Structure 1
Amino acid sequence: MRMRPTLSWTPPEGLPPGTTDLEPVAEVLGAGGVLVLSGAGLSTESGIPAYRGEGGSLGRHTPMTYQDFVSGPAARRRYWARSHLGRRTFRRARPNAGHRAVAAFGRHGLLSGVITQNVDGLHQAAGSAGVVELHGSLERVVCLSCDAVVSRHALALRLEAANPGFAPVAAALNPDGDADLTDEQVADFRVVPCEACGGVLKPDVVFFGENVPPQRVAHCRGLVAGAASLLVLGSSLTVMSGLRFVREAARAGKPVLIVNRDPTRGDGLAVTRVAVPLGAALTAVAGRLAVPVGDAR
């Protein structure tokens, strides 16, 4: 069964309120064995918008679903035109203090792993090792016919050659690297096929309405089972792909802590939700634990 898109969520009455107390986060990190689950909110300080919350892109933009993408050439032309332009801005994003703090915690042996719902590669750019990209990466492209995988850079060069001078002005950038363009702006964009078989190319990311590969889910479940606690950073947990790991950790009696400005679907299962900007929060925790975060790379 395909995962149905969940584009919005309204917090029910009675959720525990957020706090500014970072002590529980410092305590679990100090004890080690922490599994980090990060979402789009961790990258907003790098200039990449989140889907939800104040200023979230869902207020003006509906992400393309897998079903839309495979529906025909017009949808794919719209996607690749917008994504090709958006990537130019997306790739200029740099890790922020939150990413650097997570990398520092990892270097100091406090983490058992990092799972990210983000497709921006900023954890790795900050120096985190062994990051599990739950929803894939924008830097890879896969053929839907022959399963060939190529780099996004290689595809970008082909798209540049097929669309010389393509440089429309976008209204905004979205969390998936998609730039807001009108139908008129993308009408003449040329999409290129797989060089190996002529098939349809798709970014190696999990679209709304698409399943996370089962082997990746199994790997993440193993990480949850082996962790002492789960620390959620910047995720509303609206989609089941991340929420299921919170539920599994809670069922196993492992502490779940959330750092997110807005309420999340996991708040009722968490020890605490800290409603403090992530960069400042994680930098402060690192200071309490005498973990040097370092400068931007």
Structure 2
Amino acid sequence: MVQRARRGVVFTGAGISTECGIPDFRSPGGFWTRYKPIEFSDFLASAETRLEAWRRFLVIRETIAGAAPGAGHRAVADLVRRGHVARVITQNIDGLHEAAGIPRERIIEIHGNGTYAHCLACGCRHEIDWVKEEIARKEKPPACTSCGGIVKSATISFGQAMPEQEMADARAATLNADLFLAIGSSLQVFPAAGFPVMAKQNRTPLVIVNREETGLDGLADLVIRRDIGEVLAALVARIESR
């Protein structure tokens, strides 16, 4: 199926990054089960809440910053290089697909990117190290150096609108796909999980690779419940041998 594909889409969730030391924050015992998520409206309303949100994010950031692409990321990058995969849609904020060598323009980050911050008013980019220094120095949430606006990690928070351009790009890629590979996602979080559904409605073959059962296994043409890095590395090796 992959060898025939020329416009394949890979859709990835947290499962592709767990082998890199990045936990699945939604799983039992994960970050969001220990801390009640901070809603976007609360983030905007209170400086005290913004400071707490930043403190939590910096804990997550330490985990992301020390991670390197795993076997799954490298295999997906290889499929992109070979011309089987046209776009990668990811729910992850870790930047590991780009670190694995996939061109930035091929990646659609529908939940944003946690490797930098930006101003919600003017869009000016701010580095996370700068944010950390500002908080340590002033004991209050950072303000944009350009316009004084609210600075937030470039991720999509609970209650925040999904990014319009990225969602439009993901929809276009899905409708153009000749194969849809859903990897490492429970496929229970919408609207993101709507893309594999859209693919099937468009009569595109759907393959799901995940260690656990997903909410959309019944729709798939093929379901593989095994280690993601192992499965994808074996796939690339098989293609190389032909």
2:4 alignment partner AA: A
Whether 2:110 is the aligned partner of 1:139: answer no
Using structure 1 for the length normalisation, give the TM-score. Answer: 0.74
Instruction: Write the letter of the residue equivalent to 1:207.
Output: S
Q: Deviations over 1:36-57 (max 9, x none)?
A: 0001111000111113446544
Contact 1:261 1:277 in 2 (8 A): yes
Deviation of 1:249 after TM superposition, in Å, equals 0.5
Higher relative contact order (Cα pairs below 8 Å, separated by 6+ residues): 1
Decide whether aligned partners of structure 1 residues 62 and 285 sit closer, same or farther in structure 2, where only a CA change above 3 A counts: farther
Deviations 1:46-91 (CA, angstroms, capped at 9, x unpaired): 1111134465444433332212322311211111122234423320
Tell me if the contact between 1:243 and 1:265 (Cα under 8 Å) persists in the aligned partners.
no
| AA partner of residue 87 (structure 2) | G
CA distance in 2, matches of 1:196, 1:58: 32
Kindly indicate whether residue 4 of structure 2 is the aligned counterpart of residue 31 of structure 1. Answer: yes
Unaligned 5+ segments in structure 1 are: 1-27, 164-188, 292-297
Letter in 1 for 2:98: Q
Partners of 1:61 and 1:276 lie apart in 2 by: 30
**Corresponding residue SS for 2:45:** coil
Q: Which moved more, 1:243-252 or 1:80-89?
A: 80-89
Matched, 1:149 2:125: yes
Contact 2:21 2:63 in 1 (8 A): no
Partner of residue 90 from structure 2, selected from 94, 113, 116: 116
Structure 1 match to 2:235: 285
User: What residue is the counterpart of 1:74 in the other structure?
Assistant: 48
Tell me the secondary structure at the aligned position of residue 30 of structure 1.
coil
Q: Match for residue 47 of structure 1? A: 21
Aligned-partner SS, 1:197: coil
Whole-angstrom distance in 1 between the partners of 2:29 and 2:10: 25
Give SS of 1:242's match.
coil
Secondary structure of 2:192's counterpart equals: helix
Structure 2 CA distance, aligned partners of 1:74 and 1:80?
Answer: 10
- CA–CA distance in 2 between the matches of 1:56 and 1:139? 20
Q: Quick check: 1:202 aligned with 2:175?
A: no
Shift in CA distance, 282/154, structure 1 to aligned 2, threshold 3 Å: same
Q: Percent identity?
A: 36
CA deviations on 1:235-290 (whole Å, 9 max, x unpaired) are 11222132111111111100111111122222222112211011111111112111
- Is 2:226 the counterpart of 1:250? no
Q: Which residue of 2 aligns with 1:215?
A: 165
**Superimposed CA distance per residue, residues 137-175 of structure 1 (whole angstroms, 9 cap, x where no aligned partner):** 112322223332333344344345x16xxxxxxxxxxxx
**RMSD of aligned residue pairs (Cα, Å):** 1.9
Q: Distance in 1 between the 2:117 and 2:235 partners?
A: 37
C-alpha separation in 2, matches of 1:268 and 1:217: 25
CA contact (8 A) 1:139 1:153 kept: no
Q: Do the aligned partners of 1:53 and 1:262 also contact (CA within 8 Å) in 2?
A: no
User: When the two structures are superposed, what TM-score results if normalisation uses the length of structure 2?
Assistant: 0.90
Which of the residues 137, 142, 158 maps onto 2:134? 158
Secondary structure of 2:114's match?
strand
DSSP-derived class of the 1:239 partner? coil
Q: Which protein has the bigger helix share? A: 2
